[in-house]
Amino acid sequence: MRNKRKQNQISAPGLALVMVLASWALAQASEPQASEPQGSEAQGSQAQGSQRQVSDPQVANPQVSERENSNCPTKGALGTARVMAVDSTTYPRVGLKSFPQTLPLRDHEVVLTFDDGPSPRGTRKVLAALKKECARATFFLVGKPVADHPALVRQIAAEGHTIGHHTWSHQSLMRIKPNDATEEIDHGIAAVEMALHGVATTTPSTPFFRFPYFDSSPETLDLLQARGMVVFGADFWASDWKPMTAQQQLKLLIERLKVARKGIILLHDPRTQTAAMLPAFLRYLRDNDYSVVQLVPRALAVELNEGN
């Protein structure tokens, strides 16, 4: 039987990372974003190209900041166990549903990711659930709703979450011309950058991207790798694009977690049942000794460590 997670005590470097993350995200965070695999779940996405498989943290040597959560106002909260810094050199493409490589997470560690927001109704409920448990996630945002709800984007960043990119209008990039695919990526990045700090640049502050429907092509993968962007798949998901109740979704997600035991989890904050299910899922993670890992760009962690 695994030992229960120790009650969190924040470390100095960890606290610095937490405190800087919000302002960093507000000032810099924007990335290309991706989407759910909807109709392709049964067959899954095929890995493009050949990548080195990384599974051992000692081999991958990710830059990690351990931190605990004694400052969390919710007693006994799930919290965020540590921060892992990633870059496209070590982790160009991660997530076993699409690629042969994933992040070197320990047993019972999960990364929470949310696609397709921001959505005023769903995203706010998701943020409230995460805030109560002091858990940090990565949001892969779509440019159109970002342009419509820039204040909500800034709220996501201000609450310490990581913001990644998911294109401008959530099209399958495999089904449009290469130039149009590039425009979808750039327009989405620019929308996030504009919402966060008023500059419509196509250079993302946070170089994290997820393809809509996981529909990548060799050309778009090469483009993103040349730009130094990490492409995120997922290790498992809740299938929350399918009609189901919150209770059904919770049961399905827990069953998949028990099999995987760790991994990058794909959820969708605009989905009503996901927002309704999330508080119970976070409690399940807490009660069953799972730990949440937050992802940040390696450049940020290097900058923080040099400043401490």
Catalytic residue positions, numbered: 115, 268
Sequence letter at residue 146: V
Given a contact cutoff of 8 angstroms between Cβ atoms, the answer to whether 168 and 188 are in contact is yes
Given a contact cutoff of 8 angstroms between Cβ atoms, the answer to whether 54 and 104 are in contact is yes
179 phi/psi in degrees, rounded to 5: -65, -35
261: left (phi over 0), alpha (psi -120 to 50) or beta: left
- Rounded to whole angstroms, the Cα distance separating 150 from 246 reads 28
CA dihedral 245, 247, 253, 257 (to 10 degrees): 180
Tally DSSP H helices, then E strands, for the chain. Answer: 10, 11
- Rounded to whole angstroms, the Cα distance separating 275 from 264 reads 18
- Rounded to whole angstroms, the Cα distance separating 182 from 167 reads 9
> Does residue 32 have a cis bond before it (omega within 30 degrees)?
no
279 phi/psi in degrees, rounded to 5: -55, -40
With 0-12 / 13-18 / 19 or more C-beta atoms within 10 angstroms meaning exposed / middle / buried, residue 41 is middle
Given a contact cutoff of 8 angstroms between Cβ atoms, the answer to whether 81 and 293 are in contact is yes
Mutual angle of helices 120-133 and 150-158, in 10-degree steps? 10
- Rounded to whole angstroms, the Cα distance separating 246 from 189 reads 32
